[in-house]
Structure 1
């Protein structure tokens, strides 16, 4: 008998669970887009975007998704024939590099695989080998959503500096912003991209790009920039519409203003980071217990290299696909598919799934997902270790 009636729950890595307050803020008539409250609200939002990225530098808003902000960064940083060094730890790092290549950028990639973080020593060596200093930007994914690898941004910056290389550092924080600790200024970041639908708890549709004065100057000569992607009028508008190269995304802005208030002024970033860490460890504790009695493993062995917003895991013998299907049809919980961990259509592709714990998520939501997964493992006779829920509960209890 299916028990999927009632409110469904998406435990996928975006769109994340959205607070009722955010949705309610969006449920209103369209405002005047030429003057008045919307102008003041947008100014406050840009200030709050600086706060959430921990930077004094420039923040811009695009009507776009995260993939589009990759292209916004590329368009503003590069000219055709310029070179980038891409550091890949999963599908999304590879995809960002592919976007750059398709736009005319020469890309050198170091692929660290799907189960390990970036090695700063290899980054330093690659930059030292670039004796003519052709590499203009290093592209790094803070947290790759496909693999759940979390990279050490400050260590990569240190590697660039140790090599004495002038390359800028551009970081994809689409899956990590508002979940994992991130410090734009302290870590020496030059460009950062993110989107609305994950840790910022707003429906898909907004992309964000932050950039330093150094990046602004380095990108002035870019010949890839077009009127829409150009960050200059967005960051320094003479007229309100220039923030968005046209009509403002009014209702997304209402939702974003509310979510940033919740993150920054009510909960506070340090607690947001700590909450995500605890909920991530809750999920990991359950998987560790399940793995004691079955072919169930977390993708990243070392907890220090796991992101706190999403967990990638393997359940062998096609167990991941079977469990995902059961959880959704029988219990109303949707888990994330595995991305890029095996060739699509192969039997191995059915062995991977992801559990998201990002954004507007608390203990009962996370423990509820784990309880549903345990029920599914039992119903499907997938071998697994016992006491997973007890282990998860102990983490939430602070034991």
Structure 2
């Protein structure tokens, strides 16, 4: 008999906070009820705040992040359109595959797994080929723990005089990493519910600029269920064109309240602090990240390279079966060579320390030579220093000058 919690440290799905779980536990309701429009309109308005989107629309479909990819392509582009993409991990690879299968003319740059979007190569391509209709960026490549510079891509597009649309896969970045759709000139941003939004999978979320909405009116690609026009027409009156997943929408309401109460700048800062602690732990083990340089480091997932002869899948199996902890395995080109620690969503310093502790035991059992407790100790030291520097107060009993003041409990 297994007692206690099975811990989840994959980069998605992420743990669902109790307040969000309770919000989804609702009886079935009339999705055409007269009070539904107020709920829907407020929900969409607050969702746009997370995307940092003031102009344009946010749309929510039943589906996964992959559904959001397809909605973005089929609504905003037409078969035969020339687009610029790159592959530097499993998910950017899959997006290229989808674009080709949907009839786009893909100019693809392959990049070493461990690096991110090739901005200079994009700039050269855009200067040489004004027929490119869209530029694609996987903001956070979950397979390798790499974050790319979306703002730099927009700058390259502007300097080349490109009128192309900028598409961004933000599935493992939006609601966790810094993302500013208006400021960065992102036309189409896609997200899913199961990562930074701290929900089960099941909602495909898109942020659309006015330019993207205009492009959707010109697209000749066939679509029905995913048609922007149908969704927008229904959303304008606070409804949906088909039966919506109301429990998930109630959960999204609770998730947005949690994010906006914390404040998006603080959400971003928390994820950076937690990721830095994990990275200190990995360094103390004597291991490297899959990301090849600090400028690529992701603040939502760390893909840890393993020594020769150690199988990443074995590390994940040991962690799961012996220590009731789930880590992400390697995908595609890095299968077996890395394991991945997800540190996004409903996580804090102590949960990240527990991830490192479980990882240490699994790594030792898998044959990795490391000092037991080294990663946890390094992360503890970093967290204490970082929180003290931020002036954090763990509780009302804390005094920054005198230390903890203990009172008797009677």
TM-score range, shorter chain: over 0.9
Partner of 1:54: 52
- In the alignment, the residues of structure 2 paired with residue 323 and residue 12 of structure 1 have an alpha-carbon distance, to the nearest angstrom, of 13
Equivalent residue for 1:199, pick from 173, 196, 209: 196
- In the alignment, the residues of structure 2 paired with residue 212 and residue 206 of structure 1 have an alpha-carbon distance, to the nearest angstrom, of 20
Map 1:286-301 → 2, pairs under 5 A: 286-291=281-286, 296-301=287-292
Equivalent residue for 1:312, pick from 282, 290, 303: 303
Q: Deviations over 1:126-152 (max 9, x none)?
A: 01110xx32111011100111111011
Does the 8 Å CA contact 1:5/1:332 hold for their aligned counterparts? no
Partner of 1:249: 245
- In the alignment, the residues of structure 2 paired with residue 319 and residue 101 of structure 1 have an alpha-carbon distance, to the nearest angstrom, of 33
Does the 8 Å CA contact 2:40/2:238 hold for their aligned counterparts? no
Equivalent residue for 1:350, pick from 322, 325, 336: 336
Partner of 1:345: none
Partner of 1:331: 323
Tell me by how many angstroms 1:384 deviates: 2.1
Partner of 1:87: 86
SS in 2 for 1:282: helix
RMSD of equivalent CA atoms: 1.7
Relative distance call for 1:380 and 1:93 in structure 2 (3 A) is: closer
Q: Deviations over 1:125-178 (max 9, x none)?
A: 001110xx3211101110011111101111000000111111110100000111
SS in 1 for 2:185: coil
- In the alignment, the residues of structure 1 paired with residue 237 and residue 60 of structure 2 have an alpha-carbon distance, to the nearest angstrom, of 12
- In the alignment, the residues of structure 1 paired with residue 311 and residue 215 of structure 2 have an alpha-carbon distance, to the nearest angstrom, of 49
Q: Deviations over 1:261-302 (max 9, x none)?
A: 0001x21111111111011011111111111xxxx3211132
SS in 1 for 2:183: coil
- In the alignment, the residues of structure 2 paired with residue 315 and residue 62 of structure 1 have an alpha-carbon distance, to the nearest angstrom, of 39
Map 1:1-399 → 2, pairs under 5 A: 5-56=3-54, 57-130=56-129, 133-237=130-234, 243=240, 245-264=241-260, 266-291=261-286, 296-316=287-307, 317-342=309-334, 349-385=335-371, 387-398=374-385
Tell me by how many angstroms 1:111 deviates: 1.7
- In the alignment, the residues of structure 2 paired with residue 388 and residue 353 of structure 1 have an alpha-carbon distance, to the nearest angstrom, of 15
Does the 8 Å CA contact 1:59/1:235 hold for their aligned counterparts? no
Does the 8 Å CA contact 1:310/1:354 hold for their aligned counterparts? yes
TM-score, length of structure 1 as denominator length: 0.92
Q: Deviations over 1:197-249 (max 9, x none)?
A: 00000110000111111111123121214121111232342775863x30011
Relative distance call for 1:170 and 1:238 in structure 2 (3 A) is: closer
Tell me by how many angstroms 1:4 deviates: 6.0
- In the alignment, the residues of structure 2 paired with residue 164 and residue 103 of structure 1 have an alpha-carbon distance, to the nearest angstrom, of 27
SS in 2 for 1:237: helix
- In the alignment, the residues of structure 2 paired with residue 4 and residue 162 of structure 1 have an alpha-carbon distance, to the nearest angstrom, of 59
Relative distance call for 1:238 and 1:328 in structure 2 (3 A) is: closer
Which blocks of at least 5 consecutive residues in structure 1 are unaligned? Answer: 343-348
SS in 1 for 2:113: coil
Does the 8 Å CA contact 2:176/2:300 hold for their aligned counterparts? yes
SS in 1 for 2:53: coil
- In the alignment, the residues of structure 1 paired with residue 235 and residue 382 of structure 2 have an alpha-carbon distance, to the nearest angstrom, of 51
Does the 8 Å CA contact 2:37/2:238 hold for their aligned counterparts? no
Which blocks of at least 5 consecutive residues in structure 2 are unaligned? Answer: 387-410
Q: Where in structure 1 do 4 or more consecutive aligned residues deviate above 6 Å?
A: none
Does the 8 Å CA contact 1:88/1:140 hold for their aligned counterparts? no
